[in-house]
């Protein structure tokens, strides 16, 4: 190889090296731009997720507030309905107690004394009787309801009479009669009460009406 050819080769290699260095610099710069772009996109994604999370948390918080308000409203409604039912029950007891206190009579039997809200208890048992009528040999237990249901009749004849005897052994030899007093009766319930020998007491106009033609001793 001549000196000139050698010089040309060295010059060619130098040019190639310069070109390679520039390409490498361009590649590094491109990678840097790509990395910068990726970093920005990642930052934007994180920011977007944070915004979505904040909106989701706000919606959850609002939902929890609505649920809490609904639960509170339901509690108030239940309490109001309970108060109405309780007040109606008290009114029924008051009405029938006053009426029976005037007549002191049930099914042709005269009583000496009428009491209401008679709560009694022993070591193993407790119960409350809406109205109790007393004389020398008979007791009348009157269950009062604003609107009577079959379960009230069942409770009266199967539970109240038994509990009264257990809680009042002094009246063990007395005749126990039952009466169901209510402002509203289902016809079927009236018929059932008659079959069981339970007096029916209800309000007709301003007067208490009593059907006690078929009283049974319990």
Q: Is the residue at 94 inside a domain?
A: yes
Task: Determine the average pLDDT of the residues in 77-105.
Answer: 74
Output the pLDDT for position 24.
Answer: 67
User: Which range marks the domain in which residue 125 is found?
Assistant: 90-211
Q: Is the residue at 140 inside a domain?
A: yes
Q: Is the residue at 52 inside a domain?
A: no
Q: Is the residue at 1 inside a domain?
A: no
Q: Is the residue at 20 inside a domain?
A: no
**Predicted confidence (pLDDT) per residue in 13-63, tens digit:** 566 665 666 666 766 667 767 776 776 777 777 777 778 777 777 677 666
Q: Is the residue at 5 inside a domain?
A: no
HEC-encoded secondary structure of the chain: CCHHHHHHHHHHHHHHHHHHHHHHHHHHHHHHHHHHHHHHHHHHHHHHHHHHHHHHHHHHHHHHHHHHHHHHHHHHHHHHHHHHHHHHHHHHHHHHHHHHHHHCEECCEECCEEEEEEEEECCCCEEEEEEEEECCCEEEEEEEEEECCHHHHHHHHHHHHHHHHHHCHHHCCCEEEEEEEEEECCHHHHHHHHHCCCEEEEEECCEEEEECCCCCCC
How many domains does the chain fold into? 1
Q: Is the residue at 60 inside a domain?
A: no
Check which CATH number belongs to the domain holding 118 and give it: 3.40.1350.10
pLDDT for residue 136 is more than 80: yes
């Amino acid at each position: 190889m001549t000196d000139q050819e050698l010089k040309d080769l060295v010059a060619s290699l130098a040019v190639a090296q310069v070109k390679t260095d520039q390409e490498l610099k361009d590649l590094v710069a491109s990678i840097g731009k790509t990395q910068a772009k990726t970093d920005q996109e990642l930052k934007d994604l994180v920011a977007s997720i944070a915004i979505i999370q904040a909106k989701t948390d706000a919606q959850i918080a609002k939902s929890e507030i609505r649920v809490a308000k609904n639960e509170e409203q339901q509690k108030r409604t239940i309490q109001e309905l309970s108060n109405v039912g309780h007040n109606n029950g008290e009114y029924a007891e008051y009405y029938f107690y006053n009426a029976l206190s005037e007549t002191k009579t049930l099914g042709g039997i005269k009583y000496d004394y009428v009491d209401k809200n008679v709560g009694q208890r022993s070591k193993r048992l407790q119960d409350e009787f809406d109205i109790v009528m007393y004389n020398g040999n008979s007791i009348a237990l009157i269950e009062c309801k604003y609107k009577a249901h079959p379960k009230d009749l069942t409770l009266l004849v199967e539970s109240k009479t038994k509990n009264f005897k257990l809680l009042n052994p002094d009246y063990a030899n007395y005749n126990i009669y039952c009466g169901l007093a209510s402002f509203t009766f289902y016809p079927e319930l009236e018929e059932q009460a008659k079959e069981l020998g339970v007096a029916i007491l209800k309000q007709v106009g301003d007067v208490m009406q009593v059907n006690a033609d078929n009283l049974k001793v319990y």
